Amino acid sequence: MRNNLLTTPRSFVQPALLLASLCLSTSLPLFAQPATPAAMPANPLLTESTLPFHYPPFDLIKDAHFAPAYEQGMIDERTQVTAIADNSAPPSFDNTIVALERSGQLLARVDRIFSNLAGCNTNPALQEVERDMAPKLAAQRDALQLNPALFARVLALYEKRDTLGLDPESLRLLERYHRDFVRAGAKLSESDKTKLKALNAEIATLQTTFSQNVLKEINASAVLVTDRKELAGLSDALIATAAAAAKTEGHDGQFSVHLVNTSGQPPLASLTNRALRERIMQASLTRGSHGGEFDNRAAVAGLARLRAERAALLGYPSHAAYTLEEQTARTVETVDKLLVKIAPAAVANARREAADMQAIIDGEKGGFTLAASDWALYSEKVRTARYAFDESQVRPYLELEHVLKDGVFFAAHQLYGLTFKERKDLPVYQPDVRVFDIFDADGSHLAIFLADFYARPSKNGGAWMNEYEPQSALLGSHPVVANHLNLPKPAVGEPTLLTFDEVTTMFHEFGHALHGMFSKVKYPLFSGTNVPRDFVEYPSQVNEMWAAWPEVLKNYAKHYKTGEPLPPALLEKVLVARKFDQGHKTTEYLAASLLDLAWHGLKPAEVPAADGVLAFEAAVLKKAGVDFAPVPPRYRSTYFSHVFSGGYSAGYYSYIWAEVLDADSVEWFKQNGGLTRANGDHFRTTLLSRGGSEEALVMFKKFRGADPDINPLLKRRGLDQAVPAK
């Protein structure tokens, strides 16, 4: 889940009792009786897949299968959990906690498959399923977590936890169940539980509305260009892609420039037509806030208010305080201290970068002041002038197949001994998806990996990892994981050439995949990436380092036509230029993080109405000192899917929090010999394989041998000379 692209964190699968995803559906009443076997059509979701590692039978699954499968899964889970709660035997770890971990497997399986497909290959039928099920699944979850008999059994075990003789992972599981029940409202009065259930249902519905509005407006906001001359600066391949998109949309002979979900848009780095750049940036920045059916201002205000009301009901001063309690940061004050420490230096750097660009504009007699729509193009001009190269020189050496096999896979082989074999016999949900078997160093079959790299209208923007099957020794399950990117698909017969940022994103997302594949825990609740939100990005950010590691880069950076390696002089420029534009990158990220914390730090009465959303946003940015017009937030509130529909509410800060750990870990790798099996095995054993079975910072210290140090991060971002010590 990479910071510079949208992450849709549907990938963090929880046990059915603790379902995180609400993107489910049913057309039946919540507590309907199951259909009789004779009346139920053949449904591949109702039984475990017989394919390797329970890989989903995508060729057999139809949209119509999901509603009845969810319904049956909900009934099964209720039946199983009721039996646990009503068990006449005294509560024991096995008949209560382990039984809960085993419960709801059908619902969990349906949830994983559906929510993953809804993120990467949606359609109107699946979107209707999302809308229908969101409040019903929230009610299902509440009915289980607010069950007094069930909580009584958990509480009885928790109170005598030190006498049960549990191993460390089992003790942590019991403590986690108790904590999650309490945080879900198990100790509330019956009247307050009723209020909480209503809030949860409203939140679930509104999150789905927000998410679907974002995707629909991205598709509706494509900028149509009638004259090819306006596209000057774009490569022939990208122009061909825009022409093909326009033709598909019924505009043959024109060009359709599609948006991604960040504020900045990739074509802005190349387009020389300023009017078109302004049109694209305007379309991007106004998404969800200019009226019409996809306007998200009411959803933003509604979600902020409902989350604040829920936090107050549960006894917390704000939703941010509620969220951060179970993160490694622990408190809002801790996060604020980090962001406030970095923000002034970041903005100062951004202003210096802007001055360099304005000098070029003035030198060209441009006659205008640098704006957000100009930044990417003139940043590239500064880069070219300063380092004597631009992205167009590098792209021919960054071809997708080489990057994947000779870069991402090569680094994983060198570090961990993994080998990869593509297979064509397993079904896929979309023709561009590729499937690989992954084998461990001893030759055993470790995992199945799906690679879904290309953008399409049915796919959420950004990049992310998800799990179709999580590892668990208790359930005997093995990982089936996927990576998703949104690379523009080239015309038929043309190569897929990447920017270095896109290469880094591939390494980042595969870092998440490794976290899932290396999981070696007993209980599903702790599997893979089921760790605190502000820790989950850390292993993936560490994996980014190998994209620029000389041994790895030289192995994959080869010209797609000639096979010639990236020239050493150009390679050196790429490496030196990696610190370039850090003021912009840090400022736009911090602005989004501060917006997230501001929205989720409000009390219910402080939340503005829909027509005050943009004014509130502007006031927050001004107060924090990051209201620098040429650098808008990476995400504005109305398309900030991370926090209003994606699970990162009061958690977007986690990228830079994790980068503190990442930068410090990179120093450790450098000090200990870099790309070696010994280093990889140490990282895997102490951290990647442990999932959430230990405290996050305890695992970090076991790996690093010391507490985290912020200085490597400050040095990396060029802030070490500008940040006052506190």
Question: What distance in Å separates the CA atoms of residue 619 and residue 473, rounded to the nearest whole number?
Answer: 50
In the chain the first and final C-alpha atoms are separated, in Å, by 31
Q: How far is CA 513 from CA 363, 520, 611, in A?
A: 47, 14, 41
State the chain's maximal CA–CA distance in angstroms. Answer: 84
Q: Regarding beta strands 445-454 and 480-487, do their DSSP bridges make them parallel or antiparallel, or are they unpaired?
A: parallel
300 contacts 292 by C-beta, under 8 angstroms: no
User: What contacts 693, CB < 8 A, 6 or more positions away?
Assistant: 168, 169, 172, 521, 522, 523, 526
Contact 549, 674 (CB under 8 A): yes
* Whole-angstrom distance, CA of residue 531 vs CA of residue 537: 10
List Cβ<8 Å contacts ≥24 apart for 672-681: 674/549, 674/551, 675/411, 675/414, 675/415, 675/546, 675/549, 675/551, 675/552, 676/414, 676/415, 677/414, 677/415, 677/416, 677/417, 677/441, 679/415, 680/414, 680/415, 680/416, 680/417, 681/416
DSSP 607: P
- Between CA 88 and CA 91 the distance in angstroms is 9
Are β-strands 445-454 and 434-439 bridged in parallel, bridged antiparallel, or unpaired? antiparallel
Q: Are 447 and 481 in contact (CB under 8 A)?
A: yes
Report, as residue numbers or ranges, the catalytic residues: 509
Q: Which helix (H) or strand (E) holds 421?
A: strand 419-423
Enumerate the β-bridge partners of residue 225: 255
Alpha carbon distance 165, 249 (integer Å): 64
User: Do residues 687 and 700 lie in contact, with contact meaning Cβ atoms separated by under 8 Å?
Assistant: yes
The full DSSP string for 457-523 is TTS-SS-EEEEEE--BTTTTB--EEEEEEEEPPPPTT---B--HHHHHHHHHHHHHHHHHHT---SS
Instruction: Locate 486 and state its tokens.
Output: 């949104």
Q: Which residue(s) pair with 450 in the sheet? A: 435, 482
* 3-state SS, residue 233: coil
CA dist 415 and 675 (Å) reads 6
Pair 324, 650: CB distance under 8 Å:
yes
What is the DSSP-derived secondary structure letter of residue 318? -
